[in-house]
């Protein structure tokens, strides 16, 4: 296990085992407009430092356990607020603050586990939760999918 400290959080993780678990499953892909847009736009927030951050845990940024949209951001209606989470093998030693990974991405760690893929079954997991602001890239207007 590797120790990671960030934003007052103290975590242990096994990146190699997490990578192996991610390789062992294929994500279910929802075909709704919000999910299709998330897949088109996610590389705008999962790049550079954010991508390196996820990689230290062994997380595959293309295999979120869950994503959902919360609608246009109040401060900038051209951006859509998304939530979601990933899992990694490890544990929370000390829970700290939310961590900003750029202007449009905030993460935090949760001991509550939901919708973990089968390849993670029976393992000690941490849920890495996120909020991301992403542009709407699809030709149809946001809200037409509701």
> Has this prediction a pTM greater than 0.85?
yes
Dihedrals phi, psi of 43, to nearest 5 degrees = -65, -15
Name the domain count of the chain. 1
- Does residue 144 belong to any structural domain of this protein? no
- Does residue 105 belong to any structural domain of this protein? yes
108-125 tens-digit pLDDT: 999 999 999 999 999 999
- Does residue 3 belong to any structural domain of this protein? no
Q: Which helix (H) or strand (E) holds 38?
A: helix 33-41
For residue 14, the enclosing domain spans 9-135
Place of tokens 């093998």: 89
8-63 tens-digit pLDDT: 999 999 999 999 999 998 887 788 999 999 999 999 998 889 999 999 999 999 99
């Amino acid at each position: 296990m590797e120790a990671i400290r960030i934003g007052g959080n103290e975590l242990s993780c096994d990146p190699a085992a997490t990578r192996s678990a991610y390789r062992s499953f294929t994500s279910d892909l929802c075909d709704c407009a919000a999910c299709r847009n998330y897949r088109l736009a996610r590389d705008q927030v999962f790049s550079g430092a954010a991508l390196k951050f996820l990689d230290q845990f062994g997380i595959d940024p293309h295999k979120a356990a869950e994503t959902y949209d919360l609608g246009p951001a109040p401060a900038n209606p051209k951006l859509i607020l998304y939530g979601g989470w990933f899992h990694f093998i490890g544990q929370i030693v000390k829970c700290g603050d939310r961590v900003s990974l750029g202007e449009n991405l905030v993460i935090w760690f949760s001991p509550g586990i939901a919708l973990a893929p089968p390849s993670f079954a029976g393992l000690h997991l941490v849920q890495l939760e996120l909020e991301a602001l992403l542009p709407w890239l699809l030709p149809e207007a946001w809200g037409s999918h509701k």
